[in-house]
A and B are shown apart, each in its own frame.
Chain A
Amino acid sequence: MVEVQKTGTFQVLVGKLNEVLQEYIGDPVRYLANWGRLYSLWPVHLETACCSVELGAAAGSRFDMERFGALEAFGSLRACDLLIVTGTVTRKLAPRLKLIYDQMAEPRWVIAMGACAITGGLYFDSYNVLRGIDDIIPVDVYVPGCPPRAEALLQGLVLLQEKIRRLPSLKGV
């Protein structure tokens, strides 16, 4: 029969392990669900302006977004859970952007890519441009740059995955 030590380093270690498990796993079902979500993000195919070139480069063979778990943007809106807003949103596109966001099923996340999607960027004083998309839809990750490099977009994706990993409830957002 193994004698369990009541005090000492072993118990401290067990305690630490328990803490870590509580913090990161907590509810195992929630942990598994979030783990499944974060490595199979389906982006919406919506290009709003010129940053879509760098999105194309990030999805291309050199930077390969798929190795981080963002799949090809060919799904239906109902199956998608990631909306990457690539740049300027004009007055004509804004109602459509809201409509597209509303059609996506929960949980859903939004990455605002480029200075234009964050504040209006270079086009802040144009008569037809929205000064940031967070007036119409909620944004999870902001990726600054004009346009951001493909590496910056990948970093934004990894940050979003970190956020999904720590989601408090099963329902999502």
Chain B
Amino acid sequence: MTTEVTYEPEADRIMNVALGPQHPGAGHFRIQLWLDGDYVVKAEPDPGYVHRGEEKMCEYRNYIQNVPHLERPVILDSSNILFPYALAVDELMGNKVPPRGQYLRVIMSEINRIISHMYFLGIMGMFVGHTTMTTWGMGDRDFWIDIAERIGGARVTFAYIIPGGVRNDMPEGLKERALKTCDWFEKRMDEYEKIFFKNPLYLERTENVGVLTAEDAVKYGATGTVLRASGVRKDVRKDEPYSAYEDFDFDIPVLNSGDSWARSYIALLEMRESVKIIRQAFKNMPQGQVRLKLGPQPRVPPGEVFARTEAARGEMSYHLISDGSPRPYRVKIGTPSFKNMRVLPHLLKGVHVADIPAIYWSLNYWPVEADR
């Protein structure tokens, strides 16, 4: 018997490579890549490395016990993932949150947005090889963490926004310190703009890389910074004002280019608006109670509710079903990272391998949040 071996140079042209889960460019996440030389032919995200069954866990804990583990999926942005949960439970129970509680919720949410965006900018610098951006971003983030720590008592997991209001009032002297940090931070952001976003090296790595048009962004269901960087003005804080957001005067920054540069620059613009909101909230802070007195095991009337807020990465939503028992019947968490991940295979098609980190991290993808 003879076997004929033929050499086909085209047959093994396409190489299958896994990026992650152990890779400096992908944490707890894997992208399966099909490469033709230096070009990506096809990319397939493979999430699920941190799937911890949050939604199932909600079903055997009561409404207050659910608070600590629900903020873990997006620990950078822990107040913003609890915000829609608290809104949903409040709506089902018919809680009227006191105005001071509403304002404190807004303050904590905006501080968390800044903390999350600073981390994003820091890691973005690491991914494109701009070490100064990494050290500045991670260092300046800690000034805001200090303020959040004085309100919430922990560095990243505050469990601050709970059903019925917020956990505690802010301490004495916090207002002065926060306003001082706002002043300093606004000057600091001008430096960021000059040193990073107008830096020719940074522009070279990110401009016209991974361009997402407005039609595609809507078609793939992108949300948050990714959607607004593509020129679609959509923000839950303006479209459906919740909590006290209709009291504040702020803009929704929108950029039109839709590339990696725009997706990172819009984080800076959003932080400017957050500082504006924090200033107004401290200025017009009402007096009074910060939360309603709920029992240790509050009973929630049967019903179904959907609540959504604007988290740092985009629209965060909860669908909650109650059957009248102390525990929820079903909780569904809709996270912005999962929505933005659907854009990734589309953006990675046909790019150079060297552009993958700049595109991947510009989506501000947090795998723990997407996997829940």
CA distance A77 to B22 in the complex (A): 9
Of the four ranges (under 10, 10 to 19, 20 to 34, 35 or more), the interface on chain A belongs to 35 or more
B156 & A88 in contact (Cβ 8 Å cutoff)? no
Q: Which residues of B contact A146 (CB under 8 A)?
A: 157
Mark B129-161 against chain A: 1 for CB-CB distance below 8 A, else 0.
000001110110110010000000001110000
- Partner pick for A49 among B28, B122, B157, CB 8 A cutoff: B28
Query: Are A49 and B368 in contact, with the CB atoms below 8 A?
Result: yes
- Assuming the contacts A122-B69, A126-B52, asked whether A60 and B76 have C-beta atoms less than 8 A apart, the reply is no
Nearest CB of B to A67, in Å: 13
> CA A149 – CA B123 in complex, angstroms?
19
Given the known interface contacts A49-B368, A57-B138, A90-B50, the answer about A44 and B56 at a Cβ–Cβ threshold of 8 Å is no
Q: Which of B52, B69, B73 contacts A90 (CB 8 A)?
A: B52
Given the known interface contacts A45-B27, A122-B68, A123-B69, the answer about A53 and B119 at a Cβ–Cβ threshold of 8 Å is: yes
A129 and B73 CA atoms in complex are apart in Å by 14
Tell me the residues in window 53-95 of chain B with beta carbons closer than 8 Å to chain A beta carbons: 53, 56-57, 60, 68-69, 72-76
B332 interface hit (Cβ, 8 Å): no
- Nearest Cβ on chain B to A171's Cβ, whole angstroms: 25
Shortest Cβ distance from B214 into chain A, in angstroms?
Answer: 32
Establish whether residues A126 and B53, one from each chain, have CB atoms under 8 Å apart when the complex forms.
Answer: yes
Q: Does A93 contact B (CB under 8 A)?
A: yes
Near A by CB (< 8 A), chain B positions 32-57 give 48-53, 56-57
Task: Determine whether B233 belongs to the interface, using a CB cutoff of 8 Å to chain A.
Answer: no
CB interface residues, A 120-137, toward B, < 8 Å: 122-123, 125-129
A6 within 8 A of B: no
Flag if B52 contacts A88 (CB, 8 Å): yes
Q: Give the contacts of A75-111 with B (CB-CB under 8 A).
A: 77, 88, 90, 92-93, 96, 100
Q: Residue A71 at the B interface, CB < 8 A?
A: no
The answer to whether B138 and A45 touch across the interface, beta carbons within 8 angstroms, is no
- Check A62–B51 contact: CB distance below 8 A: no
- Tell yes or no: A74 within 8 A of B by CB: yes
A44-B28 in contact given A90-B52, A93-B50, A128-B52 (Cβ < 8 Å) = no
Residue from A50, A57, A147, A150 having most chain B Cβ neighbours under 10 A: A50
In the complex, are the beta carbons of B22 and A46 less than 8 A apart?
A: yes
Q: Which residue of B lies closest to A48 (CB)?
A: B28
A73 touches B24 (CB 8 A): yes
The DSSP consensus for interface residues of chain A is loop
In the complex, what's the smallest C-beta–C-beta distance from A43 to chain B, in angstroms?
A: 11
Would you call A56 an interface residue if the criterion is a C-beta within 8 Å of the partner chain's C-beta atoms?
A: yes
- Check if A126 sits within 8 Å of B57, measured CB to CB: yes
CB-CB under 8 A from B119, the residues of chain A are 53, 56
Q: Which residue of B lies closest to A127 (CB)?
A: B53
User: How many Å from the CB of A139 to the closest CB on chain B?
Assistant: 18
Q: Which of B28, B50, B138, B157 contacts A147 (CB 8 A)?
A: B157
Q: Is the CB of B138 within 8 A of A50?
A: no
Q: Which residue of A lies closest to B78 (CB)?
A: A50
Question: By the criterion CB–CB under 8 Å, are B155 and A50 in contact?
Answer: no
- Residue among A53, A73, A123, A127 with the most chain B CB within 10 A? A53
> 6 tightest A-B contacts by CB?
A60-B138, A47-B27, A61-B139, A50-B75, A61-B135, A126-B53
What would 20 more interface pairs be, CB under 8 Å, given A45-B27, A77-B22, A93-B21?
Answer: A44-B22, A46-B21, A50-B73, A50-B74, A56-B119, A56-B122, A56-B138, A57-B142, A60-B134, A60-B142, A61-B135, A61-B136, A62-B142, A93-B28, A93-B50, A126-B53, A127-B53, A129-B53, A147-B156, A150-B155
> What are 7 inter-chain pairs, A to B, with CB distance below 8 A?
A47-B27, A48-B28, A50-B73, A60-B135, A123-B69, A126-B53, A147-B157
B interface residues with partner A (beta carbon < 8 Å): 21-24, 27-28, 48-53, 56-57, 60, 68-69, 72-76, 119, 122-123, 134-136, 138-139, 141-142, 145, 155-157, 368
